[in-house]
Amino acid sequence: MSLRLVGNIPAAIGVLDLQGGVHEHLEHLERLGVAYKRVKQVGDFTNLAGLIIPGGESSCISRLLNFFGIKDVLLESHRRGMKIWGTCAGAILLARKVVGETACLNLINITVERNGFGSQLDSFVSEAILPDVAAEPIPLTFIRAPKIIDAGPDVKILLKIDDYIAAAENKSVLVTVFHPELTGCLALHRYFSSKCGLNPAISGNNYIDPLWKNSSWTKYAGI
């Protein structure tokens, strides 16, 4: 399953379990066949090859990082090689600059505008090809999404639509302003797993599970 070991323990991808769309990411990682775990406290950062910061409310997650005392260990784990992927609110938290606000983690040289498309009513779905991720179109779900309006020279743009950047990365951080976990497509979770040095069980140009339902994640929430 994993190409990386810490002792005899397979390295895992963690999902920051403080607020937001945690369960949907867990379900995608399980289908992908990589080791995964919830991350809620300092001890949960052991053996992590990567961490997903899910969508939710960025200001709430930022406060909880400090309240539970895990912001510093997150940053230290990143310095030691842990990769990070932020979706929607996660991208806001990882940005170096946030319009009108103070940045939180400052781990990728991008400028983000919160609620870049408007209110919740302006949410929408689309699709696009991300050549570095998959050869086939990937479904995109934007929910009260931010916009990446600028990126530094050390940032690789994976997807640009009109006047904004929707996906970008540097060597250790991936950001998407949309929600891959809300579709049946595993392409971006596979891409992040590979970025973390793991070997996903599913290969190919793209993978969209025809049997996936948007309620598949509920077993992780005890619903």
Choose the catalytic residue: 23, 78, 88, 196: 88
Close Cβ partners of 131 (under 8 Å, ≥ 6 residues apart):
none
Asked about 136 being catalytic, the answer comes back as no
Choose the catalytic residue: 104, 113, 181, 189: 181
Asked about 88 being catalytic, the answer comes back as yes
Asked about 181 being catalytic, the answer comes back as yes
Choose the catalytic residue: 23, 28, 78, 179: 179
DSSP calls for the chain: --S-EETTEEPEEEEE-SSSSHHHHHHHHHHHT--EEEE-SGGGGTTEEEEEE-SS-HHHHHHHHHHTT-HHHHHHHHHTT-EEEEETHHHHHHEEEETTB--SS--EEEEEETTTT-SGGG-EEEEE--TTT-SS-EEEEESS--EEEEE-TT-EEEEEETTEEEEEE-SSEEEESS-GGGSSB-HHHHHHHHHTT---S--SS--B-TT--TTGGGGGTT-
Enzyme catalytic residues = 88, 179, 181
